[in-house]
C-alpha cells in the first residue's frame, strides 16, 4: 500500500482533503440556483421545491451513496472507477469493462466542461461592477496559465489549496447566513414534499431536474480521491462542506424570494447578488481561486485516470512525466493539450456560463450510473451481500440517476450534445484499443519453451554464429512460465540466429493491488535461460531499465545467478556484461475475406498507433541497448 501521508486524521490531513476533494462540488453554488430558476417566474413553490431537491440530492447521492456506501469499496486505500473495476474484474462478466470505460469517458468529458463553466461563472461576477468587462479573454487567459503550469507540477502551490477552500466555504457560510435573515422560514424546504410537488406539477420539471443535478456533479471526487485523502478525512470534512453548501443555497433562495418574487431573475446570478456591492470584487477573486482549485483537481484526476486506463489496457500508451518528487503527481502532455483545447472550445462556443449549464451534468450522470453498476457487483461478489440485499440499493440509485439522466437528455439540443460527442470520441478510442489488443492477443501463437531449450542451447554454443550479445532480453506477454511466443523463438534461431551467453524472458503482469511492485525469478535452463515475472499494480508504471537492473543486482547478491563478463579484456576491469533488449512489434495483414469488424477495428487501431508512445519508450528501455523486430500476425 502506498497511501498519501495526508490520509491520517490530522488537522493537516483535513485541510489537504478540503483542497483536493471538494473543488468541483464545492463551487456548484456559483451556478446551480440560477440554473434552476432560469427564466421562470419566481414563486415560493419553485424556490422551496428547488432547494428541497438540492438537499435530498446531496443527501441521497453524495452522503448516502458515496460517503457511506461507495467509500467501502476501498482498493488498498485507493478509490475511483478503475479501482472499483480492478476489485471486481476477475469475478464479474466480461462486459463490465465497457461499463468502466463509459465511466472513464464521462469523467474525461467532465474534465473539459468543469473548468470552463466554473471559471466563466466566477469571472462573470465582475459584470455586476461593470457590464463591459471582457469576461472571455480573462477566462481564456486563466486557462492558458493553468494548463501551461501543469508541466511544472503543483507540489508547492498545492499546499495553498486547502486554505483557499477554507476561505471559500467560510464565505459561503457567512453570506448565506446573512441572506437567510430575509426569510428563516426557508428551512421548511427540507421537507421532501416540496421536491415531490415541484417535480410533479411544474411545467419545466425536467429542466429543473437537469439543473438540480448540477449540485452533485463533483460527487465522484468523493470516491476517486480516496487514495489522496483517506476515508475518514473525507467523511469528516463532508459534514463541514455539506453544511456550507446548504447554508449558501438556502441563503440564495431566501434572497430571491425577498427580492424577486413573482418576477424573473433577468440574468442576475443569486450567488453574487447576496453579497454587498463592495465585496463583489473580493468575492470574484475568491470564487476564481476556488474554481482554479476545482479545475486543477479535474485535470490531475484526468491524468491519473489515463495512467490507470493504460495499465488496464483501455487506453493507448502516451508519454507520462513526473514533474515533482511525488510519483502520484503525473503530467501527460497529450492529455493536457487535449483538455486545454477542449476547455477553450467550450468557452468560445457557449460564451456564457448559463449556456454551458446545458452541456454540464449529462456526463456525470453516466459516470454515476457506471459506478452504480460496478458497485452492484462489488457488493455481491466481494462483500458477499445477497442479491436480496443488493438489488434494493441498486434500484434506488438507478432510479434516481435514471431520472437525472432523463432530465439532462432534455438538454441535448441546448448543449448536452457537445458533451455526448466528447464522450463518444473518448469511449470509441478506448473500445478500439481494448478490443484490438484482445483481437491481436488471440492471433499470437504460444508454445512450450521446454520443447525448444535444446535448440536455444545449441545456438548459444555454436561459435560459427557471431555472438549477438552476452545477454539477450525479450519481453513476453505469455502469462504461463512454461510458454512463450513462437515468434520470439524464431527470432532466436531462425530469422537471424542470435547467439548469446544467456537468454532472458521478462513478463509484466498487472495486478489488482494499486501499488504492488514485486517480481519472481525462474531458471528454465540452468545458466542459460531465465524468466522474471514482474507483478505491478495498476498505478505503477513499468520501467524496465530500473526494475530489471534492480532485480539483477538482488538475484546476484542472493546467489541465484552468477553474471560475469565473458570477455577477458573487460572482465579484468570488473565491467558488467552487456544486455540487449529485443522488442517485438506487431504488424497485421488484413485480407478481403477478413470479418468487417476486424478490418474496422484494426485499421482504427493502426491510427492510434501513430500517435501512441512506442512500447520501448513507454517501458523505459535504453535505446542504446535496443533492437526492434516486427512480427506479422495473421
Convert the pLDDT of each residue in 515-539 to its tens digit.
888 999 999 999 899 999 999 887 7
Asked whether the predicted pLDDT for residue 244 surpasses 90, the reply is yes
pLDDT digits (tens, 9 = 90+) for 269-292: 899 999 999 999 999 999 999 988
pLDDT, mean of residues 350-379: 87
**Using one digit for the tens of pLDDT, what is the confidence trace for 540-572?**
888 888 899 999 999 998 988 888 877 778 877
Task: Locate 515 and state its grid cell.
Answer: 501499488
pLDDT tens digit string along 114-133?
889 889 989 988 888 888 88
Whole-number pLDDT of residue 246: 96
Distance (Å, whole) CA 334 – CA 318: 7
CA distance 51 to 54: 5
Write the pLDDT tens digit of every residue in 332-353. 899 999 999 999 999 999 888 8
d(CA 15, CA 234): 10
Q: Which residues pair with 580 in a beta bridge?
A: 472
DSSP lists the bridge partners of residue 532 as 506, 521
What mean pLDDT value characterizes the chain?
Answer: 87
Supply the DSSP symbol for 93: -
DSSP tally for the chain: helices H, then strands E: 26, 8
Residue 451, CA distances (Å) to 447, 457, 481, 489 in order: 8, 12, 13, 11
CA 630 to chain centre: 33
| pLDDT (mean) for 617-629 | 86
Taking 90 as the threshold, does the pLDDT of residue 328 lie above it?
Answer: no
Separation between Cα atoms, residue 622 and residue 326, nearest integer Å: 23
Query: If residue 531 lies in a helix (H) or strand (E), which one and from where to where?
Result: strand 529-537
- C-alpha–C-alpha distance, residues 419 and 409, integer Å: 11
The mean per-residue pLDDT over the stretch 71-88 comes to: 83
Q: What pLDDT sits at residue 327?
A: 54
Closest CA to 321 of 579, 541, 608, 488: 541
Buried b (16+ CB within 10 A) or exposed e, 348-384: eebebbbebbbbbbbbbbbbbbbbbbbbbbbbbebee
- Quote the DSSP letter at residue 576: P
Per-residue pLDDT band for 175 (boundaries 50, 70, 90) equals: very high
* Residue 295 pLDDT grade (very low, low, confident, very high; cuts 50, 70, 90): confident
C-alpha span between 30 and 122 (Å, rounded): 7
Alpha-carbon span 616 to 253, nearest angstrom:
58
Q: Is the pLDDT higher at 264 or at 547? A: 547
* pLDDT given for residue 502 in this prediction: 92
Name the band, by pLDDT with cuts 50, 70 and 90, for residue 616.
Answer: confident
Confidence at residue 602, expressed as pLDDT on a 0 to 100 scale = 85
For the chain, what percent of residues have pLDDT higher than 90? 39
What does the pLDDT look like over 452-486, one tens digit per residue? 999 999 999 998 999 999 999 999 989 899 999 99
Q: What is the pLDDT of residue 1?
A: 44
Phi, psi of 621 (to 5 degrees): -90, 135
The closest of 160, 123, 158 to 139, measured between CA atoms, is 123
What pLDDT score was predicted for residue 528? Answer: 92
pLDDT at 442 over 90: no
pLDDT the model gives residue 619:
84
Round to whole Å and give the CA distance between 600 and 436: 10
Computed from CA positions of residues 273, 276, 282, 283, in that sequence, does the dihedral angle turn out positive or negative? negative
pLDDT at 187 over 90: yes
**324 confidence band (pLDDT: 50, 70, 90):** low
Per-residue pLDDT reduced to its tens digit, 8-38: 677 888 888 888 888 888 889 988 998 898 8
Is pLDDT of 2 > 60? no
Instruction: Fill in the DSSP letter of residue 70.
Output: G
633 burial via Cβ count (<10 Å: 0-12, 13-18, 19+): middle
Cell of 148: 501551461
**Number of residues written out for the chain:** 634
**Are the beta carbons of 146 and 115 closer than 8 angstroms?**
yes
* CB contact set of 376 (below 8 Å; sequence gap of 6+): 390, 393, 394
DSSP 64: I
Residue 331 has pLDDT above 60, yes or no: yes
Residue 73, pLDDT score: 83
Q: What average pLDDT does this structure show over 487-504?
A: 90
Q: How far apart are CA 356 and CA 114, in angstroms?
A: 10
Amino acid at each position: 500500500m502506498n497511501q498519501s501521508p495526508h490520509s491520517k486524521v490530522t488537522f493537516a490531513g483535513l485541510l489537504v482533503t478540503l483542497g483536493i476533494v471538494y473543488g468541483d462540488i464545492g463551487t456548484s453554488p456559483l451556478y446551480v440556483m440560477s440554473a434552476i430558476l432560469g427564466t421562470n417566474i419566481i414563486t415560493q413553490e419553485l424556490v422551496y421545491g428547488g432547494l428541497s431537491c438540492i438537499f435530498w440530492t446531496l443527501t441521497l447521492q453524495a452522503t448516502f451513496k458515496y460517503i457511506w456506501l461507495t467509500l467501502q469499496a476501498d482498493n488498498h486505500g485507493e478509490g475511483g472507477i478503475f479501482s472499483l473495476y480492478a476489485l471486481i474484474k476477475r469475478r464479474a462478466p466480461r462486459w463490465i469493462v465497457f461499463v468502466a470505460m463509459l465511466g472513464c469517458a464521462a469523467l474525461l468529458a467532465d474534465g473539459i466542461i468543469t473548468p470552463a463553466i466554473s471559471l466563466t461563472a466566477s469571472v462573470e461576477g465582475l459584470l455586476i461592477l461593470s457590464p463591459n468587462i471582457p469576461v472571455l479573454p480573462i477566462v481564456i487567459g486563466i486557462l492558458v496559465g493553468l494548463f501551461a503550469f501543469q508541466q511544472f507540477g503543483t507540489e508547492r502551490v498545492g499546499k495553498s489549496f486547502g486554505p483557499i477552500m477554507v476561505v471559500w466555504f467560510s464565505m459561503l457560510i457567512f453570506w448565506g447566513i446573512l441572506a437567510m435573515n430575509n426569510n428563516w422560514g426557508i428551512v421548511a424546504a427540507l421537507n421532501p414534499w416540496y421536491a415531490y410537488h415541484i417535480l410533479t406539477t411544474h411545467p419545466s420539471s425536467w429542466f429543473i431536474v437537469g439543473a438540480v443535478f448540477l449540485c452533485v456533479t463533483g460527487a465522484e471526487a468523493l470516491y476517486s480521491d480516496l487514495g489522496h485523502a483517506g476515508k475518514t478525512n473525507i467523511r469528516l470534512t463532508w459534514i463541514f462542506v455539506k453544511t456550507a453548501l446548504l447554508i449558501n443555497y438556502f441563503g440564495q433562495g431566501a434572497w430571491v424570494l425577498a427580492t424577486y418574487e413573482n418576477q424573473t431573475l433577468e440574468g442576475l446570478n443569486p450567488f453574487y447578488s447576496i453579497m454587498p456591492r463592495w465585496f463583489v470584487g473580493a468575492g470574484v477573486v475568491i470564487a476564481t481561486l476556488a474554481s482554479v482549485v476545482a479545475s486543477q483537481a479535474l485535470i490531475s484526476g484526468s491524468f491519473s485516470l489515463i495512467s490507470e486506463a493504460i495499465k488496464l489496457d483501455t487506453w493507448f500508451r502516451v508519454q507520462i512525466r513526473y514533474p515533482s518528487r511525488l510519483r502520484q503527481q503525473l503530467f501527460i502532455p497529450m492529455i493536457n493539450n487535449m483538455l486545454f483545447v477542449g476547455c477553450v472550445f467550450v468557452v468560445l462556443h457557449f460564451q456564457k456560463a448559463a449556456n454551458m449549464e446545458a452541456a454540464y451534468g449529462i456526463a456525470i450522470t453516466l459516470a454515476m450510473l457506471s459506478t452504480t453498476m460496478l458497485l452492484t457487483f462489488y457488493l455481491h461478489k466481494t462483500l458477499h451481500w445477497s442479491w436480496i440485499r443488493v438489488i434494493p440499493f441498486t434500484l434506488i440509485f438507478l432510479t434516481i440517476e435514471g431520472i437525472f439522466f432523463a432530465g439532462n437528455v432534455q438538454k441535448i439540443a441546448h448543449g448536452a450534445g457537445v458533451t455526448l460527442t466528447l464522450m463518444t470520441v473518448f469511449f470509441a478510442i478506448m473500445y478500439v484499443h481494448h478490443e484490438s489488443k484482445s483481437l491481436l492477443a488471440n492471433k499470437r501463437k504460444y508454445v512450450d519453451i521446454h520443447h525448444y531449450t535444446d535448440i536455444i542451447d545449441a545456438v548459444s554454443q555454436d561459435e560459427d554464429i557471431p555472438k549477438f550479445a552476452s545477454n539477450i532480453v525479450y519481453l513476453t506477454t505469455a502469462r504461463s512460465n512454461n510458454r512463450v511466443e513462437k515468434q520470439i523463438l524464431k527470432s532466436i534461431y531462425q530469422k537471424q540466429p542470435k547467439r548469446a551467453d544467456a537468454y532472458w524472458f521478462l513478463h509484466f503482469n498487472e495486478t489488482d493491488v494499486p501499488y504492488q511492485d514485486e517480481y519472481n525469478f525462474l531458471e528454465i535452463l540452468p545458466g542459460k535461460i531465465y524468466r522474471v515475472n514482474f507483478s505491478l499494480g495498476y498505478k505503477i508504471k513499468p520501467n524496465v531499465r530500473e526494475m530489471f537492473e534492480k532485480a539483477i543486482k538482488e538475484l546476484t547478491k542472493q546467489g541465484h545467478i552468477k553474471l560475469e563478463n565473458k570477455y577477458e579484456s573487460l572482465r579484468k576491469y570488473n565491467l558488467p556484461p552487456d544486455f540487449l533488449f529485443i522488442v517485438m512489434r506487431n504488424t497485421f495483414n488484413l485480407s478481403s475475406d477478413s470479418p468487417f469488424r476486424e478490418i474496422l477495428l484494426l485499421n482504427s487501431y493502426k491510427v492510434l498507433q501513430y500517435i501512441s508512445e512506442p512500447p520501448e519508450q513507454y517501458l523505459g528501455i535504453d535505446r542504446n541497448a535496443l533492437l526492434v523486430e516486427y512480427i506479422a500476425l495473421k
